[in-house]
Amino acid sequence: MVKLNKIYTRTGDDGTTALVTGPRRVKHDLRVDSYGTVDETNSVIGVARLTTGSMAELDGMLFRIQNDLFDLGADLATPDTGEKVEWEPLRIVQSQVDRLESEIDTLNAHLDPLTSFVLPGGSPAAAHLHVARTVSRRAERLMVELSKVDGEVVAAPALKYINRLSDFLFVAARYANGGGKADILWVPGKNR
């Protein structure tokens, strides 16, 4: 159980922050940037949910994703160093990826086929979901970059989850656009 009695600790005043296992990293460290961008994704999804309340099934999916994103942040903030820890670290697991894939399929079954790329926009919900999609793609880029650094581990389920999330958010945006009927399609070279 998480218990937060005091919000400010002053320990980060020197420009560092602590990982769950204790070591301190500078706040612009790639791992900190990765889980910070996952947090940003979660916040943008929270804003999107302000517009999805009338779509109960979608809103429930987004709520589950927000919880998963806290799991993902905890996963990233607890690097697997191979050292023994006194507790089992929270990790993204394959069943979370599988659920996300299933929810993509559920929403996608309601969509018109695509005939072009989709421009972000349409309904307010779709516009917010497209912003969330692009922020999640940035989180993915950072996580992949982190995974390529010697000594830094990002587990495969975490990478799969963040990759599927942007797919989910794309499909969710189309779903929020009346099943794709209100999508704004890209017209190549239209303004030449």
**Domain architecture of the chain: domains with CATH:** 25-80+88-185 (1.20.1200.10)
Contact 166, 137 (CB under 8 A): yes
pLDDT in tens, 45-89: 999 999 998 999 999 999 999 999 999 999 999 988 777 878 788
Tokens 């999640």 identify what position? 136
* Distance, CA of 48 to CA of 59 (rounded, Å): 9
90 burial type by CB count under 10 A (0-12 exposed, 13-18 middle, 19+ buried)? middle
Q: Using CA atoms, how far apart are residues 80 and 89, in angstroms rounded to an integer?
A: 9
| Interatomic CA distance for residues 45 and 61, integer angstroms | 11
pLDDT of residue 26: 67
pLDDT higher than 90, residue 40: yes
Please report, for residues 5, 25, 38, 123, 140, the alpha-carbon distance to residue 2 in angstroms, rounded to integers and kept in the order given: 10, 22, 19, 37, 26
Q: Are 121 and 134 in contact (CB under 8 A)?
A: no
pLDDT in tens, 119-171: 999 999 999 999 999 999 999 999 999 999 999 999 999 999 999 999 999 99
Query: What is d(CA 151, CA 106) in angstroms, rounded to the nearest whole number?
Result: 38
